[in-house]
Amino acid sequence: MSTRTSDGPARPLRFRWDPRTGMGEEDPAEGRLLVADSWLVEEGAVRGADRHLERFAGACGRSAGIGRDTVAEFWAQALAAVPAAGAWFPRVELRRAREVSLHLLLRPAPERGDRVSVLPWPGPDPRSHPRVKGPDLDRLAGLRQQARRGGADDALLLTSSGLVTESTTSALLWWEDRSLCLPSPALRAMPSVTSALITDLARREGVRVRRRRARLEDLSGREVWLVNALHGIRVVCSWTGSSLVAGPGERAGAWRARLEDLRRPLPSRPPSGGGP
């Protein structure tokens, strides 16, 4: 169910940002990836753009000492570079070569889905920076490929003591009776914009939100979601290589509609220093 624009690029386009001249096309990307963030843009609208900015700017500050005002200037130009028509999945990056620099990867959105099969990963969590999106993306992509060879769409990461945390691409949510649950913040999980949007909606509607130190068996028979900026809410429809039973996705449709209502138009101002 992916959307393409007839005049969009046949391949992703890369840009390096200069605070004096704006976005300049580059190929290939230079330097080591320190921080990344991605979001879905459909017909010029996005969910939680300000939250994505805060997550990215905070990580850039902690990783390289880049001030929020600098990141915000780059961010505004990155948003303005995204076409108003079609479906896009841009990624902003902080990279280090001889010096640190900010980059934009402008790419059409891949296909999206509302169901996902999950392999509980039997090995250790491979991440070195679990709370920062970027440094471990290649490791996670390799693990996801192994899960796909095993017949699943994604892999669920567990702590060394067997507690569930998140998948290689998504935050984990599940329902226990009338409570919406998510892993304890003390665990090795990345702060998720989409999970935060959903749990904020739940609290506003009077739904109890619980932080849990849960094991795999606690998820059996329950409605379990993997959520991220690209897919929104996906219901876990099978647990590959496991005796766990996937619960029905009875609530997902209504919550997808609530999440979709949060989509807002991107700012329409053009880049101040030039751009693509």
Residue 254's contacts (CB-CB under 8 Å, 6 or more residues apart) are none
CB neighbours of residue 64 within 10 Å: 16
Q: Are 250 and 274 within 8 A, CB to CB?
A: no
Residue 141 tokens, joined: 């992509």
Model confidence, pTM: 0.92
CB neighbours of residue 218 within 10 Å: 16
Residue 107 tokens, joined: 């790419």
Per-residue 3-state assignment (H helix, E strand, C coil) for the chain? CCCCCCCCCCCCEEEEEECCCEEEEECCCCCEEEEEEECCEECCEECCHHHHHHHHHHHHHHHHCCCHHHHHHHHHHHHHHCCCCCEECCEEEEEECCCEEEEEEECECCCCCCEEEEEECCCCCCCCCCCCCCCCHHHHHHHHHHHHHCCCCEEEEECCCCEEEEECCCEEEEEECCEEEEECCCCCCCCCHHHHHHHHHHHHCCCCEEEECCEHHHHCCCCEEEEECCCEEEEEEEECCCCCCCCCCCCHHHHHHHHHCCCEECCCCCCECECC
More confident residue, 276 or 161: 161
Is 191 exposed, middle or buried (CB count within 10 Å of its CB: 0-12, 13-18, 19+)?
middle
Q: Per-residue pLDDT tens for 83-127?
A: 999 999 999 999 999 899 999 999 999 999 999 999 999 999 999
Q: Per-residue pLDDT tens for 164-215?
A: 999 999 999 999 999 999 999 999 899 999 999 999 999 999 999 999 999 9
Q: Per-residue pLDDT tens for 26-59?
A: 988 889 999 999 999 999 999 999 999 999 999 9
Omega of the bond leading into 28 within 30 degrees of 0 (cis):
yes
